[in-house]
Amino acid sequence: MRPFSYQRASDPDMAVQALGAAATNTPLTKATAQPLAGGTTLIDLMKLDVMRPTAIVDINPLAHAWSAIEPGSDALRLGALAKMSDVAAHAEVQRSYPVIADSLKLAASAQLRNMATLGGNVMQRTRCNYFRDVSYENCNKRNPGSGCAAMDGVNRMHAVLGTSDQCIATYPGDFAQALIALDATVEITGKAGTRSMPFAQLHKAPGSTPDIETALQPGDLISAFSISGRWPRSVYLKARDRQSYEFALSSAAIALDVQDGTIRDARVALGGVATVPWRAREAEALLKGHRFDEALAQRVADAAFADARGRRHNSFKIALGKRVVARALQQAVTMEI
């Protein structure tokens, strides 16, 4: 850890100013000023010397405006500073958006969920061990152009979808899979005021620039997420090494609209297996307009992983991921609502 200045944001403008003052051409992850929410990712990475901001802008004082949980009649708005635990425990979220409540409830530990915010959660960074250990020179995400130590290293936890020859790091979060499945919109407060974009456009696949992880620029803050429609028939299934306090080896966020046994609308998102929050659209297409059976579930699962590419230790995630998708679909179809 290195010395840094600490400021508390008095209002959104001040926070945006303080964060955006520094050079704008640097990728967000390298910006000299970083926002602090729960701190459960940021402080860890600073202790590990992976992130070296010289200025910290504490955005928690904005909570009075940015932490509301607002279910509407046919929509949901979540403030970016809402705590994971509060959203997971919210009765209306549980009733109308079980995939959101469960993705949060099954993440991290109770202590972390009490500290961590939704905004910080979607912005959490990969758990790739080579990324988090600065004694490794070769990490394209940390040191662009230096190579990738994980590619032929210990890569059991790494991604099989959305990888590039530059980076195979898994996007580790759970909540983002629920957001991307439900076509959420993310509201961003930045230098030019407030704007919105589809959540699906927030994260960037590594491609040739794994250091650029999101569409945000220095000075941008996530202020809220919103979802239209209600998704009572939705599930989040997470397979992991232990029963709590553990990232997904493979997870599936599924949301269905089933009428008279026919699937009208279907959403399939995958976690633990991809470099970014992952939507399996080809797989969804197979479901729409059909009645559910096991053979269909199998075809959907195969389609979801059609482009998957395993490496030495993580190939198992392809078979595992398919079984998780099939099982989650079955759960969603049979759930009582």
Partner 1 sequence: MTAAAPEPKTNMGQSVPRYDAAAKVTGRATYASDMPLDNPAYAFLVTSAIAKGRIDRFDLDDAGRVRGVIDIVTHENAPKLKESKLFSNGGYAGTTIQPLRSAEIAHDGQIIAVVIAESYEAAREAANRIKVSYTAAAPSASFDSPGTTMAAAKGQNAQFKEDPAVGDFAKAFDAAEVKLTASYDTPTQHHNPMELFTTSCAWMGDNLVIYEGSQYVYGLKNGVAEQLGIDADKVRVVNPYVGGGFGSRGSMTPRTAIIAGIAKRLNRPIKLVPTRDQGFTIATYRAETRHEIKLGASRDGKLVALRHEGAEVSSRPDAYCVGGTKTTTRLYACPNVDSLVSIVRADRNTPGFMRSPPEVPYLFALESALDELAAKLNMDPIELRRINDATNEPIGGKPYTSRSLMACFDEAAKAFGWSQRSSQPKSTSDGNWLIGYGCAATCYPTQMGPSAARVRLQRDGRTRVEIAGHEIGTGAYTVIAQTAAERLGVPLEKVAVFMGDSDLPPAPVAGGSNSTASTCSAVMMVCDQIRQRLFKAVMPSDSLTDKAKETVGISPAPSTRAAKGDRSLDLEKAFDALGVGVVEEYGEWKPEGAPLDSFRAMHNGQVRLVGGHAMKDQIAYAFGAEFVEVRVNRFTHEIRCPRLVGAFAAGRIMNPRTARSQLMGGLIWGMSSALLEATEIDERNARYVNDNLADYLVPVNADVSGVEVIMLSEQDDRINPVGAKGLGELANVGTNAAICNAIYHATGQRIRKLPVRLENIEV
Task: Enumerate binding residues for partner 1 (CB under 8 A).
Answer: 1-3, 49, 109, 127, 129-130, 133-136, 149, 152-154, 156-157, 239-246, 249-250, 316, 320, 323-324, 326-327
Nearer to ligand FAD, 110 or 306 (CB): 110
Judged by beta carbon, residue 190 or residue 210, the one nearer ligand SF4 is 210
Q: Which does 257 bind (CB under 5 to 8 A by kind): ligand SF4, partner 1, ligand FAD, none?
A: none
- Alpha-carbon distances, residue 281 vs 49, 133, 304 (angstroms): 38, 35, 8
Given the structure tokens 């659209």, which residue do they identify?
281
User: How far apart are the C-alpha atoms of 22 and 33, rounded to whole Å?
Assistant: 7
Q: How far is the CB of 237 from ligand FAD (least distance, A)?
A: 14
Task: Find the binder of ligand SF4 among 15, 62, 149, 161 (CB under 6 A).
Answer: 149
Using CB under 6 A, which of 37, 107, 148, 186 touches ligand SF4? 148
Q: Which does 326 bind (CB under 5 to 8 A by kind): ligand FAD, ligand SF4, partner 1, none?
A: partner 1
CB atoms within 10 A of CB 91: 9
At closest approach, how far in Å is the CB of 335 from ligand FAD?
22
User: Which of partner 1, ligand FAD, ligand SF4, none sits in contact with 168, Cβ below 5 to 8 A by type?
Assistant: ligand SF4
What residues does 34 pair with on adjacent strands?
Answer: 56
Residue 221 binds which entry of ligand SF4, partner 1, ligand FAD, none, CB below 5-8 Å type-dependent: ligand FAD
Q: Which of 83, 117, 123, 131 binds ligand SF4 (CB under 6 A)?
A: 131
Shortest Å, Cβ 243 to partner 1 = 4
List helix spans (H) across the chain. Answer: 12-20, 42-47, 63-66, 84-88, 91-96, 98-105, 110-115, 118-122, 129-132, 175-181, 281-287, 294-304, 316-334
Sign of the C-alpha dihedral computed for residues 75, 324, 104 and 48 taken in this order: negative
52 token code pair = 């070296």
The contact set with ligand FAD (CB under 6 A) reads 34-42, 44, 80, 107-108, 112, 115-117, 119-121, 123-124, 173-175, 221-222, 246-247
Nearest distance from residue 127's CB to ligand SF4, in Å? 9
Could you tell me if 325 and 165 are in contact, meaning their C-beta atoms sit under 8 angstroms apart? no
Pick out residues in 66-85 that bind ligand SF4 (CB under 6 A). Answer: none
Dihedrals phi, psi of 245, to nearest 5 degrees:
55, 45
Question: Cβ-count burial of 243 within 10 angstroms (0-12 exposed, 13-18 middle, 19+ buried)?
Answer: exposed
42 interacts with, out of ligand FAD, ligand SF4, partner 1, none, CB within 5 to 8 A per kind: ligand FAD
Residue facing ligand FAD at closest CB distance: 120
Q: In the complex with ligand FAD, which residue's Cβ is closer, 31 or 268?
A: 31
User: Least separation, in Å, of the C-beta of 162 and ligand FAD?
Assistant: 17
Shortest Å distance, C-beta 216 to ligand FAD: 6
Answer whether 108's CB lies under 8 Å from 245's CB.
yes
In degrees, to the nearest 5, what angle opens at C-alpha 21 toward C-alphas 18 and 26?
120
Query: Burial level of 64, CB count in 10 A (0-12/13-18/19+)?
Result: exposed
Q: Is 168 in the site for ligand SF4 (CB under 6 A)?
A: yes
Which C-beta is closer to ligand FAD: that of 96 or that of 103? 103
Least Cα distance to 104 among 92, 124, 118 occurs for 118
The residue among 199, 213, 129, 139 whose CA lies nearest residue 171 is: 213
Say how far residue 2 (Cα) sits from the centre of its chain.
28
Choosing from 41, 67, 124, 140, the residue that interacts with ligand SF4 (CB under 6 A) is 140
Q: Which of 313, 252, 261, 249 is nearest to 283 (CA)?
A: 252
- State the residues that interact with ligand SF4 by CB under 6 A: 126, 128, 130-131, 139-141, 148-150, 167-169, 210
